[in-house]
Amino acid sequence: MKPQSLTIEQFRALVQAEQQKSGKGKKQSKYHAKKVGGYDSGREYRRAGQLKLMLQAGLISDLREQVAFELIPAQYALCGTDLKGKPVRKLLEHSCRYIADFVYVDNATGQTIVEDTKGYRTPEYIIKRKLMLYMHGITIKEI
């Protein structure tokens, strides 16, 4: 009996159907958080809704999302000069940044608040939290 041959399109359709049956195919995040409403997790989505209500009520102001803070600047090495005599730099290490979920001003105290919605505190996050305090004097409010 001659083995059946498939076209590439038929093979892809077969693989896709098998993935849908088994529930695979959609890549899960590292800590099983599901994206909701354009946010990285349901917790972050709910907190964004709460903060938007607080903004409308006048309890907070200047609400910003996904705000980057530089913790360690990029590292460069001088490699000489170009033909015009300008120094040429080579990037050795990219900058290290912390991206806060929310930054806003509490109108009652006038204090700027940096918030992060956390389900699991990774070792990387703990180091960045300490660097935020050391470099910027900012304590991150964890929700």
Domain segments of the chain as ranges: 31-142
Q: Residue 26: what pLDDT?
A: 58
Count CA atoms closer than 13 A to 58's CA, side-chain side: 0
Q: Is the model more confident about 20 or about 84?
A: 84
Residue 24 has pLDDT above 90, yes or no: no
Residue 122: pLDDT band (50, 70, 90) is: very high
Give me the chain's average pLDDT, please: 89
- Mean pLDDT (whole number) for 83-110: 95
Is the pLDDT reported for residue 143 higher than 70?
yes
CATH of 31-142, one of 3.40.50, 3.30.530, 3.90.1570, 2.60.120: 3.90.1570
